[in-house]
Structure 1
Amino acid sequence: MSVLKWRLRSSVTGSSPKSPGFLLSLIVRILQIIGLATLLSACVHKARKPDLVFDSGKLSEQEWELADKTCEFEAAKAVIPIKIAEIAGEQFRRIYILCVESKGVKYLGTEDRLGVSQTPR
């Protein structure tokens, strides 16, 4: 048997990296890896910061909503230049709390520390 016939037969049987069998097994392997990565990423629990609890005291609902929106806006403006998300989040909460307290609303703490399931306002 000549070398040319041997190479031709070996390429037909699927030993070549360009054969359909090789490509199919490669696609199956890639799909398995993607599936496994998807399943593992679903297991990751995104940590949620506990909600802040305030005592609005004698403020009406409209006054509280105005103070809340104003302080959210001010805190958002202050953290725009911060590129690291964790630091920006902590700064946002700190500035928001200071702003709300400056409007006469007392900061009580967070839900997890107070054992509260729903924030009163």
Structure 2
Amino acid sequence: MKLAALHHVQLAMPKGEEPAARSFYGELLGLAERAKPPVLAARGGAWFEAGPVRLHLGVEADFRPATKAHPALVVDGLRALAARLGEAGFPVVWDDDLPGFRRFYTADPFGNRIEMLEPDAVPG
């Protein structure tokens, strides 16, 4: 047995907050929303993806944000994304502790921690 791939990461969200999820993950981050299978759609939440990146948001009755556990998303144009998120009122906390990457942390509309990172340019 061996692991082949990571299919998706699921984050929790409060009930009825799908519009906020669409605004953040769809509009600000540029992920496309994907239809959930009907049996799962009845539970609420939303699924987003861009290429191999898949984020699922599921409704949790006793919701509490994940403030430590988080997905780390590799992006092109990290500084532009930081500016966009900051202008939209989301936190941008830069962190220089990961060699080879520029990165910052933000939070989605529900308080879930999200890491954004971009590899340092290769000298050349």
Q: TM-score, normalised by structure 2?
A: 0.24
Which structure's CA Rg is the greater one? 1
Which has the higher relative contact order, 1 or 2, with Cα contacts under 8 A spaced 6 or more apart?
1
**Structure with the largest fraction of helix:** 1
Q: TM-score, normalised by structure 1?
A: 0.25
